[in-house]
C-alpha cells in the first residue's frame, strides 16, 4: 500500500529528527511512533492476508530503518545497528515475496465472476489486487452484442488460501458483481476400448464390423442376450427409439 509506505517513511523521518538532534527531542519521536502505529493499524483494517501484511511491513520498515540510519550517520551518531536492521527486514521481505510467488504459481484456484451488463473489470481491480488475483475474460471471442451474459464472465486466478475471502469481497460488491463461484473442473473417466473376438454368430446377430470394440455390449452382457433371442419369435412388434447425446463416458 502506497499510503502506509509514505506514513511509515514519515514516521522514521520524525524519529530520526528527534534522535539525531543535539538534544534529543521527544516530541518528534513520539509523533513518529504514533505514525508507525497508524501505519500498522491500516494494514489490519485493509484486511490483507498475514503473508502480504508481513511482507509489506518488512519492506516499509527496512527502508525506514535505512532512512533513520542515514540521518543518524549524518549527525555522527551510531547508525550501524539500524543499517543492519534495515538489511535484515528488507531481506525478509525479498524472501517472503519470492516464496509467495512460488506458492501462488503452484497452489492456485480459479473462480468465475460475472459482472453486470454495464460494469467493467477495472471497477473491481482493487479487490483483486488485495488478494493477489488476476482476471481474464472467460469467453474472449464473445462480444456484448452477441451475448451480454457470457461477455461479462471473467476467469479469476487466486491463491487457494484467499479464495473464500475473495469470493466474499466480490459478492459484497453488489453494484458491479452479479455472481461468483468456484470454477470446478471435473475429469470424465474415459472408457478403455478392448478389442474382442467376434464369432460367426455375433457377426450375424450384430452386423457392425467393429462389434469387437463395442465395450458396452460386453459390459451389459449384450452378446449373451443376442444369443438367447437368436431363435426366439416375438409375440408382437415394438417400436424402439434410440436417443443418443453423442457424449461417451
Task: Please indicate, yes or no, whether residues 55 and 88 belong to a single structural domain of this protein.
Answer: yes
Q: Which residues contact 249 (CB under 8 A, 6 or more apart)?
A: 188, 189, 190, 191
Which alpha helices (DSSP H) does the chain contain, by range? 2-20, 26-45, 50-74, 80-106, 125-130, 163-172, 200-205, 215-219, 222-229
**Which of 54, 84, 104 lies at the terminal end of a domain, its last residue?**
104
Q: What is the mean pLDDT of residues 105-114?
A: 81
pLDDT at residue 4 tops 70 = yes
Q: Please, which pLDDT band fits residue 188 given cuts at 50, 70 and 90?
A: low
Task: Please indicate, yes or no, whether residues 17 and 76 belong to a single structural domain of this protein.
Answer: yes
| Structural domain contains residue 246 | no
Task: Please indicate, yes or no, whether residues 62 and 22 belong to a single structural domain of this protein.
Answer: yes
| Structural domain contains residue 242 | no
Task: Please indicate, yes or no, whether residues 172 and 217 belong to a single structural domain of this protein.
Answer: no
Whichever domain contains 164, its CATH number is 3.30.70
Distance CA 152, CA 121 (A): 9
Q: Which residues contact 200 (CB under 8 A, 6 or more apart)?
A: none
Domain that holds residue 25: 2-104
Distance CA 115, CA 60 (A): 35
pLDDT at residue 112 tops 50 = yes
pLDDT at residue 102 tops 70 = no
Dihedral Cα 176, 181, 182, 183, nearest 10 deg: -90
Task: Please indicate, yes or no, whether residues 84 and 126 belong to a single structural domain of this protein.
Answer: no
Q: What is the mean pLDDT of residues 117-122?
A: 90
Task: Please indicate, yes or no, whether residues 69 and 138 belong to a single structural domain of this protein.
Answer: no
| Structural domain contains residue 63 | yes
| Structural domain contains residue 241 | no
| Structural domain contains residue 167 | yes
Least confident of 78-87, 88-97, 164-173, 186-195: 186-195
Distance CA 104, CA 98 (A): 10
| Structural domain contains residue 152 | yes
Task: Please indicate, yes or no, whether residues 15 and 96 belong to a single structural domain of this protein.
Answer: yes
pLDDT at residue 210 tops 90 = no
Q: Domain tally for the chain?
A: 3
CA angle 108/112/115 to nearest 5° reads 135
| Structural domain contains residue 248 | no
Q: Please, which pLDDT band fits residue 105 given cuts at 50, 70 and 90?
A: low
Task: Please indicate, yes or no, whether residues 71 and 8 belong to a single structural domain of this protein.
Answer: yes
**Mean predicted lDDT score pLDDT of the chain:** 80
The predicted pLDDT at position 78 comes to 86
Task: Please indicate, yes or no, whether residues 21 and 90 belong to a single structural domain of this protein.
Answer: yes
| Structural domain contains residue 134 | yes
Distance CA 42, CA 120 (A): 28
Amino acid at each position: 500500500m502506497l499510503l502506509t509506505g509514505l506514513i511509515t517513511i514519515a514516521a522514521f523521518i520524525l524519529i530520526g529528527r528527534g534522535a539525531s538532534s543535539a538534544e534529543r527531542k521527544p516530541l518528534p519521536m513520539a509523533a513518529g511512533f504514533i505514525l508507525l502505529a497508524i501505519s500498522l493499524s491500516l494494514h489490519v483494517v485493509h484486511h490483507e492476508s498475514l503473508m502480504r501484511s508481513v511482507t509489506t511491513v518488512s519492506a516499509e520498515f527496512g527502508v525506514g530503518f535505512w532512512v533513520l540510519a542515514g540521518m543518524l550517520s549524518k549527525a555522527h551518531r551510531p547508525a550501524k545497528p539500524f543499517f543492519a536492521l534495515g538489511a535484515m527486514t528488507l531481506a525478509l521481505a525479498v524472501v517472503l515475496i519470492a516464496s509467495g510467488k512460488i506458492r501462488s504459481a503452484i497452489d492456485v484456484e480459479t473462480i468465475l465472476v460475472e459482472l453486470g451488463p454495464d460494469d467493467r473489470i477495472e471497477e473491481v481491480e482493487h479487490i483483486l489486487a488485495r488478494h493477489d488475483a488476476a482476471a481474464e475474460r472467460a469467453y474472449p471471442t464473445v462480444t456484448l452484442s452477441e451475448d451480454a451474459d457470457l461477455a461479462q464472465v471473467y476467469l479469476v486466478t487466486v491463491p487457494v488460501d484467499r479464495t473464500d475471502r475473495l469470493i466474499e469481497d466480490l459478492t459484497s460488491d453488489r453494484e458491479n458483481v452479479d455472481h461468483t463461484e468456484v470454477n470446478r473442473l471435473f475429469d470424465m473417466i474415459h472408457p478403455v476400448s478392448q478389442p474382442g473376438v467376434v464369432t460367426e454368430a455375433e457377426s450375424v446377430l450384430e452386423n457392425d464390423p467393429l462389434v469387437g470394440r463395442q465395450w458396452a455390449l460386453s459390459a451389459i452382457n449384450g452378446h449373451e442376450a443376442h444369443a438367447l433371442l437368436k431363435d426366439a419369435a416375438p409375440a408382437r412388434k415394438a417400436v424402439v427409439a434410440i436417443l443418443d447425446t453423442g457424449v461417451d463416458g
